[in-house]
A = this chain, B = another copy of it.
């Protein structure tokens, strides 16, 4: 039962002119491109983020989520291991679990009560042998052949990933050692505690959101709040690091003081007169030894955010070419003191749909989607910081986006 072949018209050719520095706008709205992304990327040999281990602490705890356009259940088994199975009954296709979370010792489909173990094995159904000698399932019906599709799973320090592909690389090779070290810096195995969610629709293609987090330079201009309070500044000690193939990216910087006499203070986004009454909102407490602020885009669907004292995963769930659900899961470490939790919650004001900083992003990305959709045959120009996709030791660059699209074109055959 192979997928329907995807036909992307030949006119969908990547711009020849400086191909690394040009991105055609049709990738943000073409439904055939979107279908191909679902197939080759989200159901391909990738590790998709599905949640935090701390969301389902007890055996039988489950959550439902999506990998691209496929619904899945993430469940903790009796032996505390994590299983990920498709959230779709093998009988006639009903979603098995209807609630976002729960605890159960088995999955029973409401329609005809087919029952599955937490591993997705079909364990039985009513009337299998008929009623009063009549009806029932055929003798040769094979329970073992009719279970749920089960995915490969990886738990990296509390971050849960799953893959539809049997051929996906081991997680460490998938990340590459440098990106992995940044992941492990935040997810070292130190137990996490969930602080809550923010869920929003971003009215833009999922890649535009991903690009936004591979673009450190916009944050020094668009985000007046950042600049004004020194949380992200173009003159801070910074770096841009990609995995070798370009699919993952890491933006590294440092929180600084309020801007002094430098490039920043001449920007229109810097408001020197602005003072907050609650200083704590913009005063991070140092918690990582290296003093860095790190944002990681882990292909294809998660951003790992550490900014001031707010930690979060941002899970991208594409809904259509022009919409993506963004689930922010805020967390701290289980051993955080009260003062740290207080800061994490205050700093969460920068993030989410009403975030002092993130609000700008959802607004500008919607505007980008409008522009890109209107003119599919035009293209973006990505030349800040040069025309290559090399790592760099500053943030005045679009190198991570260039690296990303080099990789994307390979996977997508574009």
| Interface-facing stretch out of A50-58, A303-311, A349-357, A364-372 | A364-372
Taking CB atoms, residues of chain B closer than 8 Å to A382 are: 92
- Binary B-proximity of A54-73 (CB < 8 A = 1, otherwise 0): 00000000000000011100
Q: A2-B11, A131-B235 are in contact. List 20 more A-B contacts (CB 8 A).
A: A1-B378, A5-B9, A71-B370, A71-B371, A88-B374, A89-B371, A93-B375, A94-B364, A94-B367, A94-B368, A95-B370, A111-B368, A112-B221, A112-B222, A112-B384, A127-B384, A131-B396, A135-B384, A135-B395, A138-B387
Q: How far is the CA of A364 from the CA of B93 in the complex (A)?
A: 10
CB <8 Å contact, B394 and A131: yes
CB <8 Å contact, A1 and B379: yes
Residue A136, interface by CB 8 Å = yes
CB <8 Å contact, B374 and A70: yes
Residue A289, interface by CB 8 Å = no
> Contact check: which of B12, B25, B90, B386 meets A138 at CB < 8 Å?
B386
Residue A383, interface by CB 8 Å = yes
CB <8 Å contact, A396 and B130: yes
- A: interface residue count bin: 35 or more
26 A-B pairs, CB-CB below 8 angstroms? A1-B15, A1-B24, A1-B379, A3-B11, A69-B374, A71-B371, A87-B371, A92-B368, A93-B368, A93-B380, A94-B364, A94-B367, A95-B367, A108-B268, A110-B222, A110-B360, A111-B221, A111-B222, A112-B217, A126-B267, A131-B394, A134-B396, A135-B385, A135-B396, A137-B384, A138-B387
Residue A377, interface by CB 8 Å = yes
Residue A410, interface by CB 8 Å = no
Give the B-binding residues of A (Cβ under 8 A): 1-5, 9, 11-12, 15, 23-26, 69-71, 86-95, 98, 108, 110-113, 126-127, 130-132, 134-138, 141, 146, 217-218, 220-222, 234-235, 263, 267-269, 360, 363-364, 367-368, 370-372, 374-387, 392-397
